[in-house]
Amino acid sequence: MADATFRQLSEVDTTGSTLIEGLPGHGLVAAIAVDQITTQLGLEHYGTINADAFPPVTTFQDGLVHDLVRVYAGADPSVLTLRSDLALPQSAIEPLSGCVVSELAERFNEAIFIAGAPAQSEDDLGNVQGIGTLPSVREELKAAGITVPEEHGLVGGITGGLVRECYREEIPAALLIVQSYPHIPDPRAAKAVIDKALSPLVEFEIDTTELAEQADEIQSRLQQIAAQHQRMQQEQQEQQSQSAIPGMFQ
């Protein structure tokens, strides 16, 4: 399989940068959080990553075609973000992770990856835990007040592959695991990972008010859908009951 390649598009000083991954996954937590960060910090389109293993699709914005996987950068604070318009297939894991460690790693000092994990209860939503590829990263997580789990665990998919490659190459990287809704976009989980983990680790200020408003809007729509579904079920039950009555006397 052909490797993925990085193409730089603009000149931004990435000295001392932190790479923040925002690829679509459970609850779109990473994608929502990194979109908010990229927009608020006014990060510049720094480069693109391409590979034959990426889906054969065309994405566009503002009337112009652009690449599926893109890197944005800013110098103050020194941040790189990795974004994709679409969830990437299993076949893209090795090419993309190989490109990140071979071509991008020299442009940042450390990386932060984000994985949404299905919450077991409402009370767990928004809980954030962190693990590190190096003992120094683990201590950094603890110093930032982020819970470091003691039990065994597993993270798969594109994020798991990226973290694995950083571990193999001894690249300082943290994996933030946030409890979220698994099947719907979860802006509240994205807000939690920014407020509780990214802000203390990267030392930037991101206004997450908009994410809270989005979460309320999504919750309201879901409640409307649930109420509509319940009404439909009641109507179907009533229709079935009414159609069954004549049959009793036939």
Distance CA 21, CA 193 (A): 13
Closest CA to 99 of 2, 3, 170, 175: 3
Closest CA to 172 of 131, 225, 205: 131
Residue of 51 and 1 predicted with greater confidence: 51
Residue 157 scores a pLDDT above 70: yes
Integer CA distances (angstroms), 7 to 52, 143, 239, in order: 15, 36, 62
160 falls within a domain: yes
Distance CA 182, CA 164 (A): 23
Confidence of residue 173 (pLDDT cuts 50, 70, 90): very high
> Looking at residues 194-205, what average pLDDT do you find?
94
Domain count, the chain: 2
Confidence of residue 219 (pLDDT cuts 50, 70, 90): low
Each residue's pLDDT tens digit, 87-130: 898 999 999 999 999 999 999 999 999 999 999 888 999 999 99
Residues 130 and 170 in one domain: yes
Residues 33 and 86 in one domain: yes
Residues 200 and 221 in one domain: no
212 falls within a domain: no
Residues 180 and 236 in one domain: no
150 falls within a domain: yes
Each residue's pLDDT tens digit, 24-33: 988 889 999 9
Residue of 217 and 52 predicted with greater confidence: 52
Closest CA to 120 of 186, 182, 176, 175: 182
93 falls within a domain: yes
Q: What is the mean pLDDT of the chain?
A: 89
Residue 1: the pLDDT is: 45
Percentage of the residues of the chain whose pLDDT score is greater than 90: 66
Each residue's pLDDT tens digit, 229-250: 677 667 767 776 666 555 444 3
Residue 229: the pLDDT is: 60
pTM of the model: 0.86
Domain that residue 201 falls in: 5-207
Residue 200 scores a pLDDT above 90: yes
191 falls within a domain: yes
Residues 159 and 238 in one domain: no
Residues 134 and 170 in one domain: yes
Residues 228 and 120 in one domain: no
Cα torsion angle, 226, 230, 231, 233, sign: positive
Percentage of the residues of the chain whose pLDDT score is greater than 70: 90
Residue type, 130: G
Residues 133 and 241 in one domain: no
Residue 222: the pLDDT is: 58
Give the SS3 label for residue 46: strand
Measured at the CA of 181, the angle between CA 126 and CA 223, to 5 degrees, comes to: 110
Confidence of residue 203 (pLDDT cuts 50, 70, 90): confident
